[in-house]
Amino acid sequence: MEHQVRIDKWLWAVRLFKTRSQATEACRKGRVMVDKVQVKPSRMIKLGDIVQIKKSPITYSFKVLGLIEKRVGAKLVAEHMLDVTPKEELDILETQKHMFILQRDRGTGRPTKKERRDLDDFFETDEHDWEADWDF
C-alpha cells in the first residue's frame, strides 16, 4: 500500500463519484476540500485526512482510513473511509426531502415538463463556470 494517493483517484475508488472524470471536475470546481482547503485533482492525500465534498444542499465529510487507487466493491468501502458528516448537515438534507414531498398532492403523478424545469431551477446550484466566460 502507498503512503499517498491522488484525491481524484481516491474519490472514484471509494465510490463517492461514478467516474474519475466526475471526481476531477468536482475538484476543479472547488467542491472538494481536504482539511478545509480547496484542492486540485492532483493533490495527494494521506491517512487521517478529512475530505469534504459539497453536494447541494450539504457538505459531506469523510475521514481517510485507507489509501487505494483501484475501485473496490461497495462492501469494502467502509475499510477505506469513515463518514464524519455532522448530524446537523444530514438534518438539512432530511428537511429538504420532506419539504419537496409535502409540495406535491398525493396522486397527481409525475411533474409536467414546466413543473420539472421550475423544480430544477429552484434546487439548482450555480454550476456555471464564470471564469471561463471572461474574454481576455
The kind and range of the H/E element at 83 are: strand 81-83
What pLDDT, on the 0 to 100 scale, is given for residue 101?
Answer: 56
Identify the DSSP state of 49: P
The model carries a pTM of 0.67
Residue among 37, 33, 36, 42 at smallest CA distance from 7: 42
Q: How far apart are CA 95 and CA 13, in angstroms?
A: 30
Segment of 6-20, 97-111, 117-131 carrying the highest mean pLDDT: 6-20
Q: How confident is the model at residue 106 (pLDDT cuts 50, 70, 90)?
A: low
Question: Does residue 56 share a domain with residue 115?
Answer: no
Q: In residues, how long is the chain?
A: 136
As a whole number of angstroms, the distance between CA 71 and CA 12 comes to 7
Q: Which pLDDT value is given to residue 1?
A: 47
In angstroms, the CA 24 to CA 98 distance is: 32
Do 69 and 109 fall within a single domain?
Answer: no
- Distance between CA atoms of 27 and 38, rounded to whole angstroms? 8
Examine the domain organization and report whether 97 and 31 are in the same domain: no
The predicted model gives 105-130 an average pLDDT of: 73
Query: Does residue 20 form part of some domain?
Result: yes
pLDDT at site 125: 62
Q: For residues 39 and 13, state if they share a domain.
A: yes
3 with 70, same domain?
yes
> Taking 70 as the threshold, does the pLDDT of residue 41 lie above it?
yes
- Per-residue pLDDT of 73-104, as tens digits, reads 989 999 999 999 888 888 887 777 766 655 66
Q: What percent of the chain has pLDDT over 70?
A: 82
Pick the more confident residue, 102 or 110: 110
pLDDT tier, 119 (very low <50, low <70, confident <90, very high otherwise): confident
Which SS3 state, helix, strand or coil, does residue 99 take?
helix
Judge whether 130 lies within some domain.
no
pLDDT the model gives residue 15: 93
Are 27 and 53 members of one domain?
A: yes
